[in-house]
Amino acid sequence: MSKKYILGVFDDEATLVDAFEKLKDKGVMPVEVYTPYPVHEILEGMPIKTRITHAAFFYGLFAALGILGFLTYAAVIDWPLRYGGKPFNAFPSFIVVTIVATILSITLLTLFTFSARAKVFPGKKAEIFHERATDDKFVMVFDEDGIANDSESLKAILTEHGKIE
Amino acid sequence: MEDRLTLSNKFKILTYALMGVGVVSFALGFVFDAERTWANYLLNNYYFVSLAIGAAFFAAIQYITQSGWSAMFKRVPEAMVAYLPFAAVFFLILYFGMHSVFEWTHHEVVSHDHILQHKSPYLNVPFFFARVVVFFAAWIILSKVLRKLSLKEDEVGGMYYFQKSELYSKIFIFVLAFTFSLFSVDMLMSLEPHWFSTMFAGKSFMAGVLHASSIIALIVIILSKQGKFSLLNHSHLHDFTRYIFMSSIVWGYFNFAEFMLIWYGNIPEETSYFVHRWHGVYKILFFANIIINWAIPFLVLMPRKSSRSKLFMIPVILLLIIGQYTELYYIIWPATVHEVKFGLLEIGTFLGYAGLFSWVVGTTLTKASLVPKNHPYMEESIQHHF
């Protein structure tokens, strides 16, 4: 069974923000807002907080420790080999590898985390709410189940604030 | 919006007292231990010149990138640059202490040393001072031109002076890149005339930018605590932090690159520099340098919350003030004093210079409206928010 949504399509930023603020005061939150460019008030106003930066930090921390550990294991413990007159534990030469490999690990792991959380994967069918949401229109998406009791007043507010469709 | 800063008597007395402490320390130092005092003299001079140059670079970058956020604060780097004429005089006085700090000025050393003879067309006293004069003349003239344009803009307004400032900033930044590289080579690298490193100039310049941007942020925060810059918000603080954070990473990268290549190449004339900085207190300073100037700012200022709060910024900035001293001490002391000495002389002379620098910055800030009046990006700076 597919869910039902109410869409508010707007022509420009100002009317969208107006409607957004008004609805926020009434306690109605859109589940998603599509805009052609980042709109500040929406970014701050949406009750979505990302934790991906923390995830990225810990990926970086563990990747760096893991890579350093691996290099130490390989060069010092498992197969000590003297080259260039350097000690087995040639720590400064490990750092460059660690930096580069840490960046790669953070990038890939964060990408996978994001994809998993946002449920996107290659070949997924795109969810398009409105034909021109990827074009020049501002689209607010409301979940009808969440606001079943006052969907009429929602529609009224949207219209009043310059909804065009 | 006439918002002029007036210096309180307390501030004036404090700076005069600090300058007095500096003068007394220098006087006593020259009587009891002249060599060490000249090393102090060089360190403090270089320390505050690097701050002034870093501030000049900061101001120039704001014009070149046409940054809006910093328009409100541009008087602060301008005030720091006003220290340059004082520094010019101090560096000319260094003539009397040349023999105490620079090994290559001794004729008997050079006459027995093939490498130093080879370098003598560049490293000789007349050419050395000719360079000092040329460098300071270029910096002072260009910074005065920029300051004049900036004050003129306050009266007249419009885009004309902004565009002119941008042009001069572009010239300034090229001049600065060339002259400050040679300047740091002259003042710090030639302390050990046999040693050379191509990373050195870049590292010194980045250290200047790092510490200057943190001092700019500190002055802005202090002034905002005094009730000035009432429009300062967390986004401005975040942008200051970004400068500190960015230059700290670049500095750490350069510092590591310098050490790493010399360590890996293992060529005797390069490694000699690190070999006698690799025992005792100098080894501690080597790591302290990295921890204070890179690791702590990197980790503390990384989260968004701490990079927007004065509570986290002030301790990091105070630590960075010590950090620049640590780095210069680590560079200068093994080459000149040859043993670890740190006492009242070092503290006293540093306080003296700090007093002079704050006095120069303070008086320059009072000479013009603290917040520029007709800057074309003023509105953007006030509205700055992200």
Q: Do A95 and B264 touch (CB under 8 A)?
A: no
Same domain for A36 and A77, yes or no, is: no
Q: Which residue of B250, B260, B261 to mutate against A (max A Cβ within 10 Å)?
A: B260
- Is A97 in CB contact (< 8 Å) with chain B? no
Residues of A in contact with B256 (CB under 8 A): 92, 95
- The amino acid occupying position A101 is A
Summarize the confidence of residues B273-284 as an average pLDDT. Answer: 86
Same domain for A37 and A65, yes or no, is: no
Separation CA B74–CA B371 (nearest Å): 8
**263-292 in chain B: CB under 8 A from chain A:** 263-264, 266
Residue A66 lies in a domain: yes
Q: Do A92 and B260 touch (CB under 8 A)?
A: yes
Residue B53 lies in a domain: yes
Same domain for A10 and A44, yes or no, is: yes
Residues of A in contact with B302 (CB under 8 A): 57
- Give the pLDDT confidence score for residue B265 in this predicted structure: 84
Q: Do B260 and A85 touch (CB under 8 A)?
A: no
Percent of chain B with pLDDT strictly greater than 70: 99
- The amino acid occupying position B307 is S
- Give the pLDDT confidence score for residue B1 in this predicted structure: 45
pLDDT band with cut points at 50, 70 and 90 for residue B51:
very high
Instruction: Locate the chain B residue with the closest alpha carbon to A92.
Output: B260
Query: Using one digit for the tens of pLDDT, what is the confidence trace for A110-127?
Result: 999 999 988 888 888 877
Residue B79 lies in a domain: yes
Residue A61 lies in a domain: yes
Instruction: Locate the chain B residue with the closest alpha carbon to A53.
Output: B303
> Does B138 or A16 have the greater pLDDT score?
B138
> Does B364 or A132 have the greater pLDDT score?
B364
Q: Which of A85, A92, A96 sits opposite B259 (nearest CB)?
A: A92
Average pLDDT of chain B, as a whole number: 90
Same domain for A59 and A108, yes or no, is: yes
Helix (H/G/I), strand (E/B), else coil: B204: helix
Residue A58 lies in a domain: yes
- Give the pLDDT confidence score for residue A160 in this predicted structure: 65
Residue B380 lies in a domain: no
Residues of B in contact with A96 (CB under 8 A): 260
Number of domains in chain B: 1
Range of the domain at B130: 9-372
Q: Do A84 and B264 touch (CB under 8 A)?
A: yes
Q: Which residue of A41, A43, A91, A96 to mutate against B (max B Cβ within 10 Å)?
A: A96
Q: Do A92 and B304 touch (CB under 8 A)?
A: no
Residue A70 lies in a domain: yes
Q: Do B256 and A57 touch (CB under 8 A)?
A: no
Query: Using one digit for the tens of pLDDT, what is the confidence trace for B112-130?
Result: 888 888 888 898 899 999 9
Summarize the confidence of residues B52-65 as an average pLDDT. Answer: 94
Residues of A in contact with B385 (CB under 8 A): 40
Range of the domain at A42: 5-49+126-160
CA A2 to chain centre: 25
Separation CA B239–CA B256 (nearest Å): 26
Instruction: Locate the chain B residue with the closest alpha carbon to A85.
Output: B266
Separation CA A28–CA A21 (nearest Å): 10
Q: Give which of B376, B380, B379 is closest to B154, Cα–Cα.
A: B376
- Is A92 in CB contact (< 8 Å) with chain B? yes
Same domain for A103 and A148, yes or no, is: no
- Give the pLDDT confidence score for residue B289 in this predicted structure: 93
Same domain for A76 and A59, yes or no, is: yes
Contact predicate B370/B4, CB 8 Å:
yes
Q: Residue B155 contacts by C-beta under 8 Å, 6 or more apart in sequence?
A: B374
Alpha-carbon dihedral of residues B15, B18, B23, B26, nearest 10 degrees? Answer: -140
Separation CA B25–CA B281 (nearest Å): 24
Summarize the confidence of residues B365-376 as an average pLDDT. Answer: 85
Residue B382 lies in a domain: no
Residue A165 lies in a domain: no
Residue B249 lies in a domain: yes
Number of domains in chain A: 2
Same domain for A27 and A67, yes or no, is: no
Same domain for A14 and A67, yes or no, is: no
Same domain for A62 and A45, yes or no, is: no
Summarize the confidence of residues B361-375 as an average pLDDT. Answer: 87
Summarize the confidence of residues A141-156 as an average pLDDT. Answer: 67
**Chain A closest CA to B260's CA: distance in Å?**
6
Residue B157 lies in a domain: yes
Q: Do B260 and A96 touch (CB under 8 A)?
A: yes
- Give the pLDDT confidence score for residue A1 in this predicted structure: 40
Q: How many CB atoms sit inside 10 A of residue B19's CB?
A: 19
Residues of A in contact with B263 (CB under 8 A): 92
